[in-house]
Amino acid sequence: MDGGAPILDDGFPAERLFSQGYSYTYDDVIFLPHYIDFPTDAVTLSTKLSRRVALATPCVSSPMDTVTESSMAAAMASLGAIGIIHSNTPAPNQADLVRLAKSHKIPFNHELIFKSPSDTILSGYDFSDSPCIFVTESGTEKSKLLGTVKKSDWLESELDKDARVSDHMIKSSVTLPSSYTFQDVAGYLAKNELDVVPLVKNFGEDGDRIVNCVTSEDVERIQGFPKLGLPSLGPDGKFLVGASIGTRESDKERLEHLVKAGVNVVVLDSSQGNSIYQIEMIKYAKNMYPELDLIGGNVVTQYQAQNLIQAGVDGLRVGMGSGSICTTQEVCAVGRGQAAAVYKVASIAAQSGVPVIADGGISNSGHIVKALTLGASTVMMGSFLAGSNEAPGTYEYQGDRRVKKYRGMGSLEAMTKGSDARYLGDKAKLKIAQGVVGAVADKGSVLKLVPYTMQAVKQGFQDLGASSVQSAHDLLRSGVLRLEVRTGAAQVEGGIHGLVSYEKKSF
Protein backbone atom coordinates (compact mmCIF):
# COMPACT_ATOMS: atom_id res chain seq x y z
CA MET A 1 0.00 0.00 0.00
CA ASP A 2 1.32 3.47 -0.88
CA GLY A 3 2.16 5.03 2.48
CA GLY A 4 1.78 8.52 0.99
CA ALA A 5 -1.70 7.99 -0.42
CA PRO A 6 -4.44 9.97 1.35
CA ILE A 7 -6.96 8.07 3.49
CA LEU A 8 -10.27 8.10 1.70
CA ASP A 9 -13.20 9.45 3.69
CA ASP A 10 -15.11 6.19 4.07
CA GLY A 11 -17.11 5.34 7.18
CA PHE A 12 -16.88 7.28 10.43
CA PRO A 13 -14.14 7.68 13.03
CA ALA A 14 -15.18 6.37 16.45
CA GLU A 15 -15.20 9.82 18.05
CA ARG A 16 -17.79 11.04 15.57
CA LEU A 17 -19.88 7.87 15.58
CA PHE A 18 -20.23 7.74 19.36
CA SER A 19 -21.08 11.45 19.70
CA GLN A 20 -24.47 11.25 18.00
CA GLY A 21 -26.60 10.58 21.08
CA TYR A 22 -27.21 6.89 20.36
CA SER A 23 -26.51 4.08 22.82
CA TYR A 24 -24.89 1.53 20.53
CA THR A 25 -24.12 -2.04 21.46
CA TYR A 26 -21.78 -4.45 19.70
CA ASP A 27 -24.22 -5.70 17.04
CA ASP A 28 -25.18 -2.13 16.13
CA VAL A 29 -21.72 -1.28 14.79
CA ILE A 30 -19.31 -2.85 12.33
CA PHE A 31 -15.66 -2.06 11.58
CA LEU A 32 -14.55 -1.46 8.02
CA PRO A 33 -11.59 -3.66 7.06
CA HIS A 34 -8.13 -2.08 6.88
CA TYR A 35 -4.82 -3.27 5.37
CA ILE A 36 -3.18 -6.69 6.00
CA ASP A 37 0.60 -6.94 5.97
CA PHE A 38 1.20 -9.71 8.52
CA PRO A 39 0.04 -13.31 9.06
CA THR A 40 -2.56 -14.27 11.68
CA ASP A 41 0.07 -15.95 13.85
CA ALA A 42 1.89 -12.60 14.14
CA VAL A 43 -1.01 -11.15 16.13
CA THR A 44 -0.29 -10.95 19.85
CA LEU A 45 -3.12 -10.53 22.35
CA SER A 46 -0.99 -9.90 25.45
CA THR A 47 -2.46 -7.11 27.51
CA LYS A 48 -2.96 -5.54 30.93
CA LEU A 49 -5.75 -6.50 33.32
CA SER A 50 -4.81 -3.64 35.66
CA ARG A 51 -1.86 -1.32 36.13
CA ARG A 52 0.51 -4.06 37.35
CA VAL A 53 -1.16 -7.33 36.32
CA ALA A 54 -0.33 -8.51 32.80
CA LEU A 55 -2.02 -11.33 30.87
CA ALA A 56 -1.10 -13.25 27.73
CA THR A 57 -4.79 -13.79 26.90
CA PRO A 58 -7.30 -10.91 27.23
CA CYS A 59 -10.04 -12.95 28.92
CA VAL A 60 -11.50 -12.73 32.43
CA SER A 61 -14.13 -15.03 33.91
CA SER A 62 -16.86 -13.17 35.75
CA PRO A 63 -17.19 -13.26 39.57
CA MET A 64 -20.54 -15.07 39.45
CA ASP A 65 -21.43 -18.09 41.54
CA THR A 66 -22.36 -20.12 38.45
CA VAL A 67 -19.17 -19.15 36.59
CA THR A 68 -16.01 -18.80 38.68
CA GLU A 69 -14.78 -20.92 41.53
CA SER A 70 -11.42 -22.67 41.88
CA SER A 71 -11.68 -24.92 38.82
CA MET A 72 -12.51 -22.06 36.44
CA ALA A 73 -9.83 -19.85 38.01
CA ALA A 74 -7.16 -22.55 37.57
CA ALA A 75 -8.21 -23.24 33.98
CA MET A 76 -8.23 -19.57 33.01
CA ALA A 77 -4.80 -19.00 34.55
CA SER A 78 -3.41 -22.01 32.67
CA LEU A 79 -4.56 -20.32 29.45
CA GLY A 80 -2.82 -17.04 30.19
CA ALA A 81 -6.09 -15.44 31.29
CA ILE A 82 -7.54 -14.98 34.80
CA GLY A 83 -10.60 -15.92 36.82
CA ILE A 84 -12.25 -13.72 39.45
CA ILE A 85 -13.71 -15.87 42.25
CA HIS A 86 -17.15 -14.72 43.37
CA SER A 87 -17.96 -13.37 46.85
CA ASN A 88 -21.41 -14.94 47.21
CA THR A 89 -20.04 -17.20 49.95
CA PRO A 90 -18.60 -16.67 53.45
CA ALA A 91 -15.19 -14.97 53.42
CA PRO A 92 -13.22 -18.03 54.70
CA ASN A 93 -14.79 -20.17 51.95
CA GLN A 94 -13.84 -17.65 49.27
CA ALA A 95 -10.27 -17.51 50.60
CA ASP A 96 -10.11 -21.33 50.48
CA LEU A 97 -11.21 -21.23 46.83
CA VAL A 98 -8.37 -18.80 46.09
CA ARG A 99 -5.86 -21.06 47.86
CA LEU A 100 -7.16 -24.11 46.02
CA ALA A 101 -6.84 -22.45 42.61
CA LYS A 102 -3.29 -21.35 43.43
CA SER A 103 -2.22 -24.60 45.10
CA HIS A 104 -1.10 -26.51 42.01
CA LYS A 105 -0.22 -26.26 38.33
CA ILE A 106 -3.00 -28.45 36.97
CA PRO A 107 -5.40 -26.56 34.63
CA PHE A 108 -8.58 -27.81 36.30
CA ASN A 109 -10.01 -28.86 39.65
CA HIS A 110 -12.18 -31.88 40.26
CA GLU A 111 -14.85 -31.70 42.91
CA LEU A 112 -13.54 -33.90 45.71
CA ILE A 113 -15.86 -36.27 47.58
CA PHE A 114 -14.75 -37.89 50.87
CA LYS A 115 -16.34 -40.77 52.78
CA SER A 116 -15.33 -43.14 55.57
CA PRO A 117 -15.14 -46.95 55.11
CA SER A 118 -18.41 -47.42 57.03
CA ASP A 119 -20.41 -44.96 54.92
CA THR A 120 -22.80 -46.05 52.18
CA ILE A 121 -23.23 -44.71 48.65
CA LEU A 122 -26.92 -44.26 47.97
CA SER A 123 -26.79 -43.37 44.27
CA GLY A 124 -24.55 -42.28 41.45
CA TYR A 125 -25.37 -38.68 42.39
CA ASP A 126 -23.12 -39.12 45.45
CA PHE A 127 -20.18 -38.92 43.05
CA SER A 128 -21.43 -35.59 41.59
CA ASP A 129 -19.00 -34.83 38.72
CA SER A 130 -16.06 -36.50 40.49
CA PRO A 131 -14.46 -39.57 38.87
CA CYS A 132 -14.15 -41.28 42.25
CA ILE A 133 -14.80 -41.01 45.97
CA PHE A 134 -11.80 -40.77 48.28
CA VAL A 135 -11.98 -42.97 51.35
CA THR A 136 -10.29 -41.61 54.45
CA GLU A 137 -10.30 -42.78 58.07
CA SER A 138 -12.79 -40.15 59.25
CA GLY A 139 -14.47 -39.38 55.95
CA THR A 140 -12.94 -35.88 55.79
CA GLU A 141 -10.21 -34.32 53.69
CA LYS A 142 -7.93 -33.92 56.72
CA SER A 143 -7.59 -37.60 57.66
CA LYS A 144 -5.46 -40.45 56.29
CA LEU A 145 -6.20 -41.68 52.76
CA LEU A 146 -7.14 -45.37 52.63
CA GLY A 147 -8.25 -45.81 49.02
CA THR A 148 -10.76 -44.86 46.33
CA VAL A 149 -14.12 -45.99 44.98
CA LYS A 150 -14.42 -45.53 41.24
CA LYS A 151 -17.87 -44.62 39.96
CA SER A 152 -17.67 -47.32 37.29
CA ASP A 153 -16.93 -50.02 39.89
CA TRP A 154 -19.81 -48.91 42.11
CA LEU A 155 -22.30 -48.85 39.22
CA GLU A 156 -21.57 -52.52 38.51
CA SER A 157 -23.00 -53.44 41.93
CA GLU A 158 -25.49 -50.57 42.26
CA LEU A 159 -28.31 -52.88 43.38
CA ASP A 160 -26.52 -53.69 46.62
CA LYS A 161 -27.80 -50.69 48.60
CA ASP A 162 -26.58 -52.03 51.96
CA ALA A 163 -22.96 -52.37 50.87
CA ARG A 164 -20.44 -50.18 52.67
CA VAL A 165 -17.84 -48.01 50.99
CA SER A 166 -15.19 -50.49 52.12
CA ASP A 167 -16.84 -53.18 49.96
CA HIS A 168 -16.09 -51.20 46.79
CA MET A 169 -12.82 -49.58 47.86
CA ILE A 170 -9.56 -50.07 46.01
CA LYS A 171 -6.82 -49.74 48.63
CA SER A 172 -4.25 -47.12 47.74
CA SER A 173 -2.15 -44.52 49.51
CA VAL A 174 -0.34 -43.28 46.41
CA THR A 175 -0.30 -39.48 46.11
CA LEU A 176 1.70 -36.83 44.27
CA PRO A 177 2.60 -33.27 45.32
CA SER A 178 0.26 -30.60 43.98
CA SER A 179 3.32 -28.75 42.67
CA TYR A 180 3.69 -31.34 39.89
CA THR A 181 2.90 -30.09 36.40
CA PHE A 182 0.21 -31.75 34.32
CA GLN A 183 2.91 -33.34 32.14
CA ASP A 184 4.62 -34.81 35.22
CA VAL A 185 1.38 -36.30 36.50
CA ALA A 186 0.44 -37.66 33.08
CA GLY A 187 3.81 -39.39 32.81
CA TYR A 188 3.43 -40.90 36.28
CA LEU A 189 -0.03 -42.30 35.48
CA ALA A 190 1.21 -43.85 32.24
CA LYS A 191 4.38 -45.32 33.77
CA ASN A 192 2.53 -46.94 36.67
CA GLU A 193 -0.61 -47.83 34.67
CA LEU A 194 -2.88 -46.03 37.14
CA ASP A 195 -6.42 -44.77 36.49
CA VAL A 196 -6.31 -41.95 39.05
CA VAL A 197 -3.86 -40.26 41.39
CA PRO A 198 -4.68 -37.65 44.08
CA LEU A 199 -2.59 -34.50 44.45
CA VAL A 200 -1.73 -33.28 47.94
CA LYS A 201 -0.51 -30.03 49.45
CA ASN A 202 0.96 -29.47 52.89
CA PHE A 203 -1.00 -26.94 54.94
CA GLY A 204 1.43 -26.66 57.83
CA GLU A 205 -0.20 -27.59 61.13
CA ASP A 206 -3.11 -29.18 59.26
CA GLY A 207 -0.70 -31.53 57.48
CA ASP A 208 -1.17 -32.92 53.97
CA ARG A 209 -4.54 -32.46 52.32
CA ILE A 210 -5.85 -33.77 48.99
CA VAL A 211 -6.55 -30.74 46.80
CA ASN A 212 -7.16 -32.35 43.41
CA CYS A 213 -6.85 -35.52 41.38
CA VAL A 214 -5.94 -36.47 37.81
CA THR A 215 -7.33 -39.42 35.91
CA SER A 216 -6.13 -41.21 32.79
CA GLU A 217 -9.30 -39.90 31.12
CA ASP A 218 -8.26 -36.34 31.99
CA VAL A 219 -4.90 -36.93 30.33
CA GLU A 220 -6.43 -38.29 27.14
CA ARG A 221 -8.99 -35.46 27.00
CA ILE A 222 -6.58 -32.59 27.58
CA GLN A 223 -3.91 -33.95 25.24
CA GLY A 224 -6.50 -33.60 22.48
CA PHE A 225 -6.96 -29.88 23.19
CA PRO A 226 -4.92 -27.06 21.62
CA LYS A 227 -1.52 -26.70 23.24
CA LEU A 228 -1.58 -24.40 26.26
CA GLY A 229 0.36 -21.16 25.86
CA LEU A 230 2.04 -19.11 28.55
CA PRO A 231 0.14 -19.42 31.85
CA SER A 232 -0.68 -16.47 34.09
CA LEU A 233 1.80 -16.72 36.96
CA GLY A 234 2.53 -14.39 39.83
CA PRO A 235 5.98 -13.51 41.22
CA ASP A 236 5.77 -16.62 43.41
CA GLY A 237 5.35 -18.86 40.37
CA LYS A 238 1.74 -19.73 41.26
CA PHE A 239 -1.36 -19.15 39.16
CA LEU A 240 -2.73 -15.62 39.07
CA VAL A 241 -6.13 -15.60 40.78
CA GLY A 242 -8.52 -12.70 41.39
CA ALA A 243 -11.49 -12.36 43.72
CA SER A 244 -14.37 -9.96 44.24
CA ILE A 245 -15.51 -8.12 47.34
CA GLY A 246 -18.38 -5.77 48.12
CA THR A 247 -18.35 -2.32 49.69
CA ARG A 248 -19.76 -3.04 53.14
CA GLU A 249 -17.84 -2.82 56.42
CA SER A 250 -17.70 -6.64 56.60
CA ASP A 251 -15.86 -6.69 53.28
CA LYS A 252 -12.81 -5.20 54.97
CA GLU A 253 -12.48 -8.48 56.86
CA ARG A 254 -13.14 -10.40 53.61
CA LEU A 255 -10.34 -8.46 51.95
CA GLU A 256 -7.96 -9.45 54.74
CA HIS A 257 -8.85 -13.13 54.26
CA LEU A 258 -8.18 -12.85 50.52
CA VAL A 259 -4.84 -11.10 50.93
CA LYS A 260 -3.68 -13.80 53.35
CA ALA A 261 -4.77 -16.42 50.78
CA GLY A 262 -2.47 -14.81 48.18
CA VAL A 263 -5.02 -13.17 45.90
CA ASN A 264 -3.37 -11.25 43.03
CA VAL A 265 -6.07 -8.72 42.19
CA VAL A 266 -9.36 -7.68 43.80
CA VAL A 267 -12.51 -6.53 42.00
CA LEU A 268 -14.99 -4.27 43.79
CA ASP A 269 -18.27 -5.85 42.76
CA SER A 270 -21.07 -3.29 42.41
CA SER A 271 -23.66 -2.90 39.67
CA GLN A 272 -23.27 0.90 39.95
CA GLY A 273 -19.76 1.64 41.09
CA ASN A 274 -19.91 5.41 41.35
CA SER A 275 -20.89 5.54 45.01
CA ILE A 276 -19.52 6.88 48.26
CA TYR A 277 -19.41 3.28 49.49
CA GLN A 278 -17.04 2.18 46.74
CA ILE A 279 -14.87 5.27 46.90
CA GLU A 280 -14.38 4.81 50.65
CA MET A 281 -13.54 1.12 50.14
CA ILE A 282 -11.02 2.01 47.42
CA LYS A 283 -9.26 4.45 49.74
CA TYR A 284 -9.25 1.92 52.60
CA ALA A 285 -7.90 -0.93 50.43
CA LYS A 286 -5.19 1.20 48.81
CA ASN A 287 -4.10 2.46 52.21
CA MET A 288 -4.01 -1.01 53.81
CA TYR A 289 -2.60 -2.93 50.82
CA PRO A 290 -0.87 -0.45 48.49
CA GLU A 291 0.78 -3.21 46.44
CA LEU A 292 -2.55 -4.95 45.66
CA ASP A 293 -4.17 -3.96 42.37
CA LEU A 294 -7.80 -2.92 42.79
CA ILE A 295 -10.38 -2.89 39.99
CA GLY A 296 -13.39 -0.62 40.40
CA GLY A 297 -16.81 -0.54 38.78
CA ASN A 298 -19.13 -1.14 37.24
CA VAL A 299 -19.22 2.12 35.28
CA VAL A 300 -20.54 3.18 31.88
CA THR A 301 -19.86 6.94 31.77
CA GLN A 302 -16.76 9.10 31.77
CA TYR A 303 -17.97 10.91 34.89
CA GLN A 304 -18.28 7.65 36.82
CA ALA A 305 -14.89 6.51 35.57
CA GLN A 306 -13.16 9.75 36.49
CA ASN A 307 -14.42 9.58 40.08
CA LEU A 308 -13.05 6.06 40.57
CA ILE A 309 -9.75 6.87 38.85
CA GLN A 310 -9.26 9.83 41.18
CA ALA A 311 -10.03 7.55 44.14
CA GLY A 312 -7.10 5.33 43.10
CA VAL A 313 -8.33 2.28 41.14
CA ASP A 314 -5.87 0.30 39.03
CA GLY A 315 -8.49 -0.89 36.54
CA LEU A 316 -12.12 -0.28 35.56
CA ARG A 317 -14.93 -2.74 34.87
CA VAL A 318 -17.37 -1.41 32.26
CA GLY A 319 -20.96 -2.52 31.74
CA MET A 320 -24.40 -2.03 33.21
CA GLY A 321 -27.37 -4.14 32.18
CA SER A 322 -25.64 -5.71 29.16
CA GLY A 323 -25.34 -9.27 30.48
CA SER A 324 -27.62 -11.95 29.08
CA ILE A 325 -29.20 -12.60 32.48
CA CYS A 326 -29.24 -8.97 33.68
CA THR A 327 -32.45 -6.90 33.78
CA THR A 328 -31.03 -3.69 35.27
CA GLN A 329 -31.83 -1.55 32.22
CA GLU A 330 -35.38 -2.92 32.14
CA VAL A 331 -36.03 -2.62 35.88
CA CYS A 332 -34.11 0.53 36.77
CA ALA A 333 -34.02 2.43 33.44
CA VAL A 334 -30.28 3.08 33.73
CA GLY A 335 -27.30 1.72 31.85
CA ARG A 336 -25.78 2.11 28.42
CA GLY A 337 -25.25 0.17 25.21
CA GLN A 338 -22.03 -1.75 25.71
CA ALA A 339 -20.15 -0.54 22.62
CA ALA A 340 -20.77 3.09 23.56
CA ALA A 341 -19.91 2.43 27.22
CA VAL A 342 -16.59 0.75 26.43
CA TYR A 343 -15.52 3.46 23.98
CA LYS A 344 -16.46 6.37 26.24
CA VAL A 345 -14.92 4.96 29.43
CA ALA A 346 -11.78 3.72 27.68
CA SER A 347 -11.24 7.18 26.17
CA ILE A 348 -11.01 8.81 29.60
CA ALA A 349 -9.25 5.88 31.32
CA ALA A 350 -6.45 5.83 28.72
CA GLN A 351 -5.45 9.34 29.76
CA SER A 352 -4.56 7.98 33.21
CA GLY A 353 -3.11 4.66 32.04
CA VAL A 354 -5.95 2.68 33.62
CA PRO A 355 -6.89 -0.52 31.75
CA VAL A 356 -10.57 -1.21 31.03
CA ILE A 357 -12.43 -4.52 31.32
CA ALA A 358 -15.43 -4.84 29.00
CA ASP A 359 -17.93 -6.72 31.17
CA GLY A 360 -21.02 -8.21 29.55
CA GLY A 361 -22.61 -8.63 26.15
CA ILE A 362 -20.04 -11.11 24.82
CA SER A 363 -21.67 -13.96 22.90
CA ASN A 364 -19.19 -14.55 20.05
CA SER A 365 -15.61 -13.85 18.99
CA GLY A 366 -16.69 -10.82 16.94
CA HIS A 367 -17.94 -9.14 20.10
CA ILE A 368 -14.51 -9.68 21.67
CA VAL A 369 -12.83 -8.07 18.64
CA LYS A 370 -15.15 -5.08 18.91
CA ALA A 371 -14.69 -4.68 22.68
CA LEU A 372 -10.89 -4.83 22.49
CA THR A 373 -10.68 -2.49 19.49
CA LEU A 374 -13.03 0.05 21.06
CA GLY A 375 -10.58 0.49 23.92
CA ALA A 376 -10.93 -2.41 26.34
CA SER A 377 -7.77 -4.23 27.40
CA THR A 378 -9.65 -7.37 28.43
CA VAL A 379 -13.16 -8.81 28.20
CA MET A 380 -15.06 -10.32 31.13
CA MET A 381 -17.39 -13.18 30.28
CA GLY A 382 -20.22 -14.84 32.15
CA SER A 383 -22.65 -16.69 29.87
CA PHE A 384 -19.88 -17.33 27.33
CA LEU A 385 -18.06 -19.52 29.88
CA ALA A 386 -21.05 -20.75 31.88
CA GLY A 387 -22.04 -24.30 31.04
CA SER A 388 -18.42 -25.36 30.57
CA ASN A 389 -16.88 -28.27 32.44
CA GLU A 390 -15.03 -25.87 34.72
CA ALA A 391 -18.07 -23.80 35.72
CA PRO A 392 -19.67 -24.65 39.09
CA GLY A 393 -22.76 -26.83 39.10
CA THR A 394 -23.95 -30.17 37.80
CA TYR A 395 -25.14 -30.92 34.28
CA GLU A 396 -28.83 -31.62 33.74
CA TYR A 397 -30.87 -32.50 30.68
CA GLN A 398 -33.62 -30.35 29.17
CA GLY A 399 -35.05 -32.65 26.54
CA ASP A 400 -32.01 -33.87 24.66
CA ARG A 401 -29.85 -30.84 25.55
CA ARG A 402 -27.21 -31.04 28.26
CA VAL A 403 -27.25 -27.82 30.29
CA LYS A 404 -25.98 -26.14 33.45
CA LYS A 405 -27.72 -23.55 35.58
CA TYR A 406 -26.67 -19.94 34.98
CA ARG A 407 -28.05 -17.12 37.10
CA GLY A 408 -27.58 -13.42 37.37
CA MET A 409 -26.16 -12.11 40.62
CA GLY A 410 -29.18 -9.82 40.67
CA SER A 411 -31.63 -12.73 40.58
CA LEU A 412 -33.68 -13.34 43.70
CA GLU A 413 -32.08 -16.79 44.01
CA ALA A 414 -28.57 -15.31 44.14
CA MET A 415 -29.67 -12.48 46.41
CA THR A 416 -30.74 -14.95 49.09
CA LYS A 417 -27.06 -15.99 49.25
CA GLY A 418 -25.93 -12.41 49.82
CA SER A 419 -25.42 -10.82 46.41
CA ASP A 420 -28.09 -8.17 47.11
CA ALA A 421 -25.26 -6.06 48.60
CA ARG A 422 -23.92 -5.74 45.05
CA TYR A 423 -27.11 -3.86 44.17
CA LEU A 424 -27.13 -1.83 47.43
CA GLY A 425 -30.25 -3.75 48.40
CA ASP A 426 -29.10 -5.77 51.40
CA LYS A 427 -30.63 -3.22 53.80
CA ALA A 428 -33.88 -2.87 51.88
CA LYS A 429 -37.08 -4.38 53.27
CA LEU A 430 -38.27 -5.33 49.79
CA LYS A 431 -36.01 -7.27 47.39
CA ILE A 432 -36.28 -6.33 43.70
CA ALA A 433 -34.63 -8.63 41.16
CA GLN A 434 -32.25 -7.23 38.56
CA GLY A 435 -31.48 -10.60 36.99
CA VAL A 436 -32.92 -13.99 36.13
CA VAL A 437 -32.12 -17.68 36.56
CA GLY A 438 -31.64 -19.69 33.39
CA ALA A 439 -29.64 -22.47 31.80
CA VAL A 440 -26.90 -22.58 29.18
CA ALA A 441 -25.86 -25.39 26.88
CA ASP A 442 -22.84 -27.60 27.63
CA LYS A 443 -19.80 -25.91 26.07
CA GLY A 444 -17.23 -28.57 26.89
CA SER A 445 -13.96 -27.42 28.43
CA VAL A 446 -12.71 -23.83 28.44
CA LEU A 447 -9.30 -25.39 27.71
CA LYS A 448 -10.65 -25.93 24.20
CA LEU A 449 -13.21 -23.12 23.94
CA VAL A 450 -10.89 -20.23 24.79
CA PRO A 451 -7.94 -21.12 22.48
CA TYR A 452 -10.24 -21.55 19.47
CA THR A 453 -12.04 -18.31 20.30
CA MET A 454 -8.75 -16.43 20.58
CA GLN A 455 -7.69 -17.75 17.18
CA ALA A 456 -10.88 -16.24 15.73
CA VAL A 457 -10.10 -12.96 17.50
CA LYS A 458 -6.64 -12.95 15.93
CA GLN A 459 -8.22 -13.33 12.50
CA GLY A 460 -10.47 -10.37 13.24
CA PHE A 461 -7.46 -8.28 14.27
CA GLN A 462 -5.69 -9.27 11.06
CA ASP A 463 -8.63 -8.00 8.98
CA LEU A 464 -8.42 -4.71 10.90
CA GLY A 465 -4.68 -4.44 10.23
CA ALA A 466 -3.96 -4.52 13.96
CA SER A 467 -1.17 -6.81 15.13
CA SER A 468 -1.81 -6.24 18.85
CA VAL A 469 -4.37 -4.87 21.29
CA GLN A 470 -2.39 -1.63 21.62
CA SER A 471 -2.16 -1.36 17.83
CA ALA A 472 -5.95 -1.67 17.57
CA HIS A 473 -6.38 1.12 20.15
CA ASP A 474 -3.93 3.36 18.27
CA LEU A 475 -5.60 2.77 14.89
CA LEU A 476 -9.01 3.59 16.36
CA ARG A 477 -7.92 6.77 18.16
CA SER A 478 -5.99 8.03 15.14
CA GLY A 479 -9.10 7.75 12.98
CA VAL A 480 -7.53 5.21 10.62
CA LEU A 481 -10.04 2.55 11.64
CA ARG A 482 -13.56 3.45 10.59
CA LEU A 483 -16.98 2.20 11.66
CA GLU A 484 -20.56 2.30 10.48
CA VAL A 485 -23.91 1.63 12.12
CA ARG A 486 -25.72 -1.46 10.85
CA THR A 487 -29.39 -1.35 10.05
CA GLY A 488 -31.61 -4.19 11.17
CA ALA A 489 -31.49 -5.62 7.64
CA ALA A 490 -27.68 -5.37 7.61
CA GLN A 491 -27.50 -7.31 10.87
CA VAL A 492 -29.69 -10.04 9.41
CA GLU A 493 -27.54 -10.11 6.26
CA GLY A 494 -24.39 -10.35 8.38
CA GLY A 495 -25.66 -13.53 10.04
CA ILE A 496 -26.79 -16.87 8.66
CA HIS A 497 -29.86 -16.44 6.48
CA GLY A 498 -31.75 -17.83 3.53
CA LEU A 499 -31.19 -21.51 4.36
CA VAL A 500 -33.77 -24.23 4.85
CA SER A 501 -31.53 -25.83 7.50
CA TYR A 502 -27.94 -25.66 8.63
CA GLU A 503 -25.51 -26.92 11.25
CA LYS A 504 -23.35 -24.30 12.93
CA LYS A 505 -19.98 -25.28 14.35
CA SER A 506 -17.54 -22.63 15.53
CA PHE A 507 -14.54 -25.00 15.51
Residues annotated catalytic, as ranges: 326, 422
**Among 86, 38, 94, residue whose Cα is nearest residue 60:** 86
Confirm whether residue 406 is marked as ligand binding. Answer: yes
Q: Which helix (H) or strand (E) holds 362?
A: none
Give all strands (DSSP E) within 80-195, no chain letters.
82-85, 114-115, 132-136, 145-150, 170-171, 176-177
Segment (H or E) for 22: none
Q: Which of 232, 235, 291 is closest to 259 using CA atoms?
A: 291
224 in a known ligand binding site:
no
Residue 429 CB partners (closer than 8 Å, separation 6+):
none
Q: Is 270 annotated as a binding residue?
A: yes
- C-alpha Rg value of the chain to the nearest Å: 24
CB atoms within 10 A of CB 496: 8
323 annotated as a binding-site residue: yes
Cis peptide before 298 (omega within 30 of 0): yes
409 labelled binding-site residue: yes
The answer to the question of whether 383 is labelled as a binding residue is yes
Q: Is 360 a known ligand-binding residue? A: yes
Q: Is 506 annotated as a binding residue?
A: no
Is 158 in contact with 124 (CB distance < 8 Å)?
A: yes
Q: Is 410 annotated as a binding residue?
A: yes
CA–CA gap between residue 62 and residue 41 (Å, rounded): 28
> 3-class DSSP state for residue 317?
strand
Whether 351 has a binding-site annotation, put simply, is no
Note the Cα 124 to chain centre separation in Å: 29
The amino acid sitting at 198 is P
User: Which amino acid is present at 320?
Assistant: M
61 close to 447: Cβ distance less than 8 angstroms: no
Residue 434, annotated as binding a ligand: yes
First to last CA, the chain: 33
409 and 84 in contact (C-beta within 8 Å)? no
Residue 361 marked in a binding site: yes
CB 406 within 8 A of CB 387: yes
Q: Which residue type does 61 have?
A: S
> Is residue 401 a known part of a binding site?
no
The answer to whether residues 141 and 165 touch, using CB atoms and an 8 Å cutoff, is no
Three-state secondary structure call for residue 60: strand
Instruction: Check: CB of residue 266 under 8 Å from CB of residue 243.
Output: yes
Q: Does 184 belong to an annotated binding site?
A: no
Q: Phi/psi at 185 (nearest 5 deg)?
A: -70, -40
Binding residue numbers for K(+)? 321, 323, 326
Binding residue numbers for NAD(+)? 269-271, 319-321
Binding residue numbers for IMP? 324, 359-361, 382-383, 406-410, 434
Binding residue numbers? 269-271, 319-321, 323-324, 326, 359-361, 382-383, 406-410, 434
